[in-house]
């Protein structure tokens, strides 16, 4: 049997909780990585894993990522993550969501939940009937809240502009070629912002219908999912799944800039160094994709309106610049520079 300490991704997590509710079928894991800066906040992932242990690894890895993301965004939140182990049909019921809400509540606010892959705003409403430690709820009367996706997209777009400024010396995306991996929530916003500024788009999604719909809406061409990572372009923006930058994929890249919203883009820390050696400017994922959690934090802590959210998201380019500047002056790759900065902020540096 593997104990938490036996997992390679165990990183001095403060606590790791396992919940079971046989009546509803709920089996959930909540990992609290750090509460140094505030309650551990991070979304709830509803996913079917071939092996339960993969769910534990996801919770450990993603909760550490949330500690880093929240710290680098300057938020008064620690890092945590929940994973609900779904069956292979991904059966989700109101009873299961209620049992999950009660589990969150039992932690008394050490963990704050929100949307992640497989969990919608409507699910959050269901969960909020059982606990107040939840965000990502529909905004009421002009308050901040709702789907974090568009806020993530705005931050990613501003981050792409910052990267283009630094790497290519250009103040606009006009005429630049953006290769977009994914055509979901985050990618859609990025595509629309970039198209409005005159960028040329190539879009790939495993769901070809979605890719075509986005290409029609934003203007651009659909390319194959294999082709997108080897396309000659000015920017590659990964906005689908993680672990796409690997020892195998990196030598095939033909872009000077990688800046996208997907979590955990680097398969391993060594891949950050590989990009750096090739002179490819990388925007660390948890720095550039913090727009959604900024909105969630502002909603949960109730300390600002839509204008404040926008202002906080507009801080993302400066944080990226700080990472790139330290990278330039030390010769270390941006991903490891960002990790070290985040560790210092959560008192572990």
Residue ranges of the binding site: 182-187
Distance CA 236, CA 63 (A): 26
Residue with the CB atom nearest ligand NAD in the bound state? 184
Compare residues 206 and 278 and give the one whose CB is closer to ligand NAD: 206
- Beta strand 15-21 with 26-34: parallel, antiparallel or unpaired? antiparallel
We find the least distance from the C-beta atom of residue 203 to ligand NAD, in angstroms, to be: 9
Least distance in angstroms from the C-beta of 95 to ligand NAD: 25
Cβ proximity to ligand NAD: between 105 and 147 the closer is 147
Quote the least distance from Cβ 256 to ligand NAD, whole Å.
21
Using alpha carbons only, what angle is made at residue 295 by residues 348 and 171, rounded to the nearest 5 degrees? Answer: 90
Q: Convert 46-78 to b/e letters by CB count within 10 Å (16 or more is b).
A: bbebeeeeebbbbbbbbbbbbbbbbbbbebebb
Of the pair 28, 191, the CB lying nearest ligand NAD is at 191
> What is the closest distance, in whole angstroms, from the C-beta atom of residue 5 to ligand NAD in the complex?
27
- How is 238-297 classified by DSSP, letter by letter? E-S-S--B-TTTGGG-B-SEE----SS-BSSHHHHHHHHHTT-EE--HHHHTTHHHHHHH
Provide the b/e sequence for 283-299 (b: ≥16 CB within 10 Å): bbbbbbbbbbbbbbbbb
Q: Which residues belong to the annotated binding site for NAD(+)?
A: 182-187
* Cα-Cα-Cα-Cα dihedral sign, residues 146, 150, 154, 156: positive
Q: What is the enclosing helix (H) or strand (E) of 16?
A: strand 15-21
| In the complex, minimum distance from the CB of residue 118 to ligand NAD, in angstroms, rounded to a whole number | 9
- Interface residues with ligand NAD (CB under 6 A)? 148-149, 152, 181-187, 204-207, 210, 225, 239-242, 261-263, 289, 292
Q: In the block, which residue shows the tokens 């979901």?
A: 184
DSSP string across 183-216: -SHHHHHHHHHHHHTT-EEEEE-SSHHHHHHHHH
CB closer to ligand NAD out of 247 and 277? 247
8 A C-beta contact, residue 336 and residue 269: yes
Closest by Cα among 205, 224, 277 to 247: 277
How far is residue 305's CA from residue 144's CA, in Å, rounded to a whole number? Answer: 6
The CB-of-120 to ligand NAD minimum distance in angstroms stands at 11
CB of 313 to ligand NAD, least distance (A): 12
For ligand NAD, the closer of residues 148 and 334 by Cβ is 148
152 closest CA partner among 298, 289, 47? 289
Nearer to ligand NAD, 185 or 336 (CB): 185
User: Active site residue: 81, 102, 174, 213, which one?
Assistant: 81
239 or 258, CB closer to ligand NAD? Answer: 239
Check if 174 is active-site.
Answer: no
Count CB-CB contacts under 10 A for residue 243: 14
Which residues are catalytically annotated? 81
């Amino acid at each position: 049997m593997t104990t938490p300490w036996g997992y390679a991704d165990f990183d001095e997590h403060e606590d790791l909780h396992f919940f079971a509710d046989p009546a509803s079928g709920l089996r959930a894991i909540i990992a609290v990585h750090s509460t140094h800066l505030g309650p551990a906040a991070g979304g709830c992932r509803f996913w079917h894993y071939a092996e339960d242990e993969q769910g534990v690894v996801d919770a450990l890895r993603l909760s550490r990522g949330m500690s880093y993301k929240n710290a680098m965004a300057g938020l008064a939140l620690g890092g945590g993550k929940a994973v609900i182990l779904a069956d292979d049909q991904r059966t989700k019921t109101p009873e299961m969501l209620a049992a999950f809400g009660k589990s969150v509540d039992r932690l008394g606010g050490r963990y704050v939940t929100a949307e992640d892959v497989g969990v919608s705003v409507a699910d959050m409403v269901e969960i909020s009937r059982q606990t107040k430690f939840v965000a990502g709820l529909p905004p009421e009367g002009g308050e901040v809240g709702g789907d974090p996706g568009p806020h993530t997209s705005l931050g990613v777009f501003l981050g792409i502009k910052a990267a283009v400024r630094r790497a290519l010396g250009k103040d606009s995306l006009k005429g630049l070629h953006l290769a977009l991996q994914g055509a979901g929530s985050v990618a859609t916003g990025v595509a629309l912002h970039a198209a409005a500024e005159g960028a040329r788009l190539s879009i790939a999604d495993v769901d070809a219908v979605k890719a075509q719909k986005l290409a029609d809406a934003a203007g651009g061409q659909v390319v194959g999912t294999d082709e997108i990572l080897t396309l000659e372009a000015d920017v590659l923006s990964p906005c689908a799944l993680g672990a796409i930058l690997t020892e195998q994929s990196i030598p095939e890249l033909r872009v000077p800039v990688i800046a996208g919203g997907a979590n955990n883009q680097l398969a391993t820390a060594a891949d950050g160094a590989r990009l750096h050696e090739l002179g490819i400017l990388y925007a660390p994922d948890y720095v550039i994709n913090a727009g959604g959690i900024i909105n969630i934090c502002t909603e949960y802590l109730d300390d600002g309106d839509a204008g404040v959210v926008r202002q906080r998201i507009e801080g993302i380019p400066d944080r990226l610049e700080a990472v790139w500047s330290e990278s330039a002056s030390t010769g270390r790759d941006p991903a490891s520079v960002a990790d070290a900065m985040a560790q210092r902020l959560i008192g572990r540096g």
